[in-house]
């Protein structure tokens, strides 16, 4: 009985040893954000006009939703590289359903269902067949991307019902629906991960999966749940981005989006080793990535050099995460 109590205690998701590391990463992110905003205040004061700030948040809505989904998976010790490709495929399937039926509700449900289906396949492979998350989701990214190109012949899909755009491009009280959707999704996942048993189990698994299994935490079921919810986030992002762009295309799930999603999570304090991070940090990281892109454009930095800088940012934050996580 005594040994069983010791095992059970070791599997509890105690976050105290890693709280300082998380806070330090958020401090670094806040300082970096402040520097970017200070530069924009000097070089482009128009950036701080209310209309432009709303446009920046609207532009970051898709990335925010995907980052929240990725954060959930990473907290559980996994990763889902297929999220952007999943989003692109869901947008295409949902748009086809809308065009064929004229039903906005059916099209939106099709996007959510498509995202959920891909998330389910990823979750089953990782949770029940114990496949490596990186390899599984990388393969799924290829499958979804190839299927999206095959369905569309690399041509964007237009002619969605006007009602679809009327709903998801609306601006009640001057705030785009996309921002509200991203905020509600992010806060909902934050509450789920921070207060529910599911969230505590996900943190415990990300911290020590073996101890969690020994203490009878439902590891497979919880991991499957993180991938399911991440798939739903991909479907939700598909609705948002299809409405904003006015079309569905395989290109919206490019490899560059994968980089942006991972960047948003890592600089937002979500550990690639699992067990540490908050969805709200990933949301802040997503906005940071969009603002960083605006600064790079303002500086006249080329797209390819921008990718180099984003990669360097990821390496720097991973090094910070590693340096202050040795006690793990």
Q: At what angle do helices 104-127 and 133-152 cross, to 10 degrees?
A: 150
Instruction: Report the alpha-carbon distance of residue 213 to residue 66 in Å, rounded.
Output: 29
Are 241 and 87 a contacting pair, CB within 8 Å? yes
Selection from 262, 242, 91 nearest residue 178 by Cα? 242
What is the largest distance, in Å, between two alpha-carbon atoms of the chain? 66
Instruction: Report the alpha-carbon distance of residue 61 to residue 112 in Å, rounded.
Output: 17
DSSP state of 171: -
* Neighbour count for residue 243 (Cβ, 10 Å): 24
Per-residue pLDDT of the chain (328 residues; tens, 9 = 90+): 433 333 344 444 444 434 445 567 778 888 888 888 888 888 888 888 888 899 999 999 999 999 999 999 999 999 999 999 999 999 999 999 999 999 999 999 999 999 999 999 999 999 999 999 999 999 999 999 999 999 999 899 999 999 999 999 999 988 999 999 999 999 999 999 999 999 999 999 999 999 999 999 999 999 999 999 999 999 999 999 999 999 999 999 988 999 999 999 998 989 999 999 999 999 999 999 999 888 888 888 888 888 888 888 888 888 877 776 654 4
Task: Note if the pTM is more than 0.85.
Answer: yes
């Amino acid at each position: 009985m005594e040994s069983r109590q010791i095992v059970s205690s070791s599997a509890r998701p105690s976050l105290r040893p890693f709280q300082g590391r998380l806070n330090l990463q958020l401090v670094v992110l806040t300082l970096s954000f402040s520097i970017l905003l200070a530069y924009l205040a000097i070089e482009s004061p128009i950036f701080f006009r209310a209309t432009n700030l709303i446009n920046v948040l609207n532009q970051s809505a898709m990335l925010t939703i995907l980052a929240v989904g990725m954060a959930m998976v990473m907290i559980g010790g996994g990763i889902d590289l297929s999220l952007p490709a999943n989003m692109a495929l869901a947008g295409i399937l949902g748009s086809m359903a809308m065009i064929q039926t004229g039903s906005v509700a059916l099209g939106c449900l099709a996007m959510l269902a498509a995202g959920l289906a891909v998330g389910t396949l990823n979750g089953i492979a990782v949770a029940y067949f114990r496949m490596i998350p990186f390899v599984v989701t990388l393969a799924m990214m290829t499958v979804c991307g190839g299927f999206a190109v095959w369905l569309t012949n690399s041509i964007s899909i237009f002619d969605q019902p006007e009602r679809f755009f009327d709903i998801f491009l609306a601006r009640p009280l001057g705030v785009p629906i996309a921002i509200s959707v991203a905020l509600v999704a992010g806060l909902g996942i934050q509450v789920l991960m921070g207060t529910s048993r599911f969230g505590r189990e996900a943190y415990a698994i990300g911290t020590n999966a073996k101890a969690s299994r020994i203490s009878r935490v439902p590891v497979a079921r919880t991991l499957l749940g993180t991938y399911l919810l991440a798939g739903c986030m991909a479907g939700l992002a598909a609705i948002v981005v299809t409405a904003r762009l006015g079309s569905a295309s395989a290109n919206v799930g490019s490899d560059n989006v994968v980089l942006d999603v991972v960047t948003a999570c890592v600089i937002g304090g979500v550990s690639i080793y699992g067990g540490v991070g908050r969805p709200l940090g990933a949301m802040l990281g997503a906005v940071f990535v969009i603002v960083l892109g605006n600064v790079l454009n303002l500086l006249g930095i080329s797209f390819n050099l921008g990718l180099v800088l984003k990669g360097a940012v990821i390496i720097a934050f991973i090094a910070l995460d590693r340096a202050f996580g040795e006690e793990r």
